[in-house]
Structure 1
Amino acid sequence: MEWRDEGILLSSRRHGETSAIIEVFTPDHGRHAGVVRGGTSRKIAPILQPGAQLDLTWRARLEDHIGSFVVEPVRSRAAAALGDRLALAGLNAVTALLGFCLPDREPHPRLYLQTEQLLDLLDQPEVWPLAYLRWELLLLEEMGYGLALEVCAVTGQRDDLAYVSPKSGRAVSRSAAGDWADRLLPLPDVLRGVGSGGDAEVAEALRTTGHFLTAHLATDLGHAPLPEARARFVTAFTRRL
């Protein structure tokens, strides 16, 4: 078995004396793991940094084997991430969430494309948080937890939408919320793709997406709690408000 693809490095860990096991996200083969021979060497180890864009050739005797990778660097994102605390926290959140959420070897080409575009914005802190929020919305959608925010779940109206039901992920208008308003999640305009999305509004929106990542996606996957990298990014972001 053999295939070639391009991918984003999610994680790398030492394997034996000289090798590494890496996990990558590719457009055609999804989240995929494999062994890199000599992955701890001075030549290859610097390439295997989270977020790196790699040219990958995977080989295995049988399809269900872990197999081995031959990797070639396409571009590194380490400089953009290491030069800014928020960028580094954001990169770690993206790679951790993908490793946590994605089914093994299941392609998600739309999510892959948006992930690649998001990571290429790491050196643009003025637009990155909004791009990250939109990426989280797509991640929820791709995993089957997309939010329905166009009409009120109670009245069917399209205006005065102010809340999100924490159970259904559907919008609720201000008038329909009534006494239940304090039990609902905020629906800032930026969640519906309206407006420029200032930092305060993005932070409010991340509270809502965070609920569905934690209370729905992570719970239904039966995993441990959501990766702490996501909370660290949100904390780093809110500190700049």
Structure 2
Amino acid sequence: MRVAVNQLADAGNLAAPKRSRPAARDLRVLGQPGFVLHSYPYKETSLIVEMFTRDHGRIGLVAKGAKRPHSRLRGVLQTFQPLNTSWSGKAELRTLIDAEWVGGLLPLEKTALLCGFYLNELLVKLVARDDPHPALFDHYVSTLNQLAHGEPAQIVLRKFERALLKETGVAADLTRCTSTRAPVAPECWYVVDPERGPRPAEAGDNWPRVEGRTLLAMEAEDYAAAATQQQSKQLMRFLLAHHLGGAPLNTRQILIDLMQI
């Protein structure tokens, strides 16, 4: 577990500020709530940081001098830590001016930590830069909080995956059959077209077969039933793979190997 976390590291008390103009038009943004999703070295002493912010979405920042031993940013730019961030510039990569730790979230440990890296990888690969998603940001904060408090990971992750697809505009309505427009029947079996939504399962379908009651439960965010947990896991794995265009999720494979999430 320790080795896996180290490899990945290399790879609810946030106040909502007043909405500012879109990031692409701003020269300077001050005090924006955000989280580090990923960072990697840039030149000798700096970092490029992928940040998920409440009102500006995912942005790329250059943290100049952050690798210097006495840099104030050196110990601040950590994943899963609530930050207030400030930056300037209007290019694709802005310049980080300041970052301050806010606090309010428990640290993630063990499996919860791996789940947190999985969330970050999803955001980096599925959320476009400069595309604000304040509702998804709030859901991310809530998800980290639930993981930190030991909520069942298989349920917490399914809810976040579904919220991510909804907020990015690619989630179909799971309560209505696309071929007939009739409501999904709990006792029937369906497959879910990633681009259209549910349709009745047919012989020869290679897509995951899901009971109607599972689709209805997912739409209602009710994952109490064991069948719902199992079928939703297979369905979300299939849907995410489609929208990722075949790009692998490194953290998911580790989670599958460890606990079959």
Scaled by the length of structure 1, the TM-score of the pair is 0.81
Q: Calculate the aligned-residue CA RMSD, in Å.
A: 2.6
Stretches (4+) displaced over 6 A: none
2:101 maps to 1:73: yes
Which 5+ residue runs of structure 1 have no aligned equivalent?
none
Partner of residue 203, structure 2:
179
How far 1:181 moved relative to its partner? 6.2
1:150 pairs with one of 153, 175, 179: 175
How far 1:75 moved relative to its partner? 2.5
Superposition pairs of residues 106-145 of structure 1, within 5 angstroms? 106-145=131-170
C-alpha spacing 1:194/1:2, structure 2 compared with 1 (3 Å): closer
Partner of residue 2, structure 1:
28
2:240 maps to 1:218: no
How far 1:196 moved relative to its partner? 4.3
How far 1:184 moved relative to its partner? 4.2
C-alpha spacing 1:110/1:35, structure 2 compared with 1 (3 Å): same
Per-residue CA deviation, residues 159-207 of structure 1 (Å, 9 max, x unaligned), is 22432324545234xxx43535664432435423264435663243122
Scaled by the length of structure 2, the TM-score of the pair is 0.75
C-alpha spacing 1:149/1:65, structure 2 compared with 1 (3 Å): closer
Partner of residue 13, structure 1:
40
1:47 pairs with one of 64, 76, 91: 76
Identity %: 21
Superposition pairs of residues 159-178 of structure 1, within 5 angstroms? 159-160=185-186, 161-172=188-199, 176-178=200-202
SS in 1 for 2:244: helix
Q: Within 1, Cα distance between the matches of 2:221 and 2:87? A: 42
Q: How many residues align?
A: 226
Which 5+ residue runs of structure 2 have no aligned equivalent?
1-26
Task: Say if 1:130 and 1:202, in contact at 8 Å, map to a contact too.
Answer: yes
Partner of residue 104, structure 1:
129
SS in 2 for 1:72: strand
| More helix per residue | 1
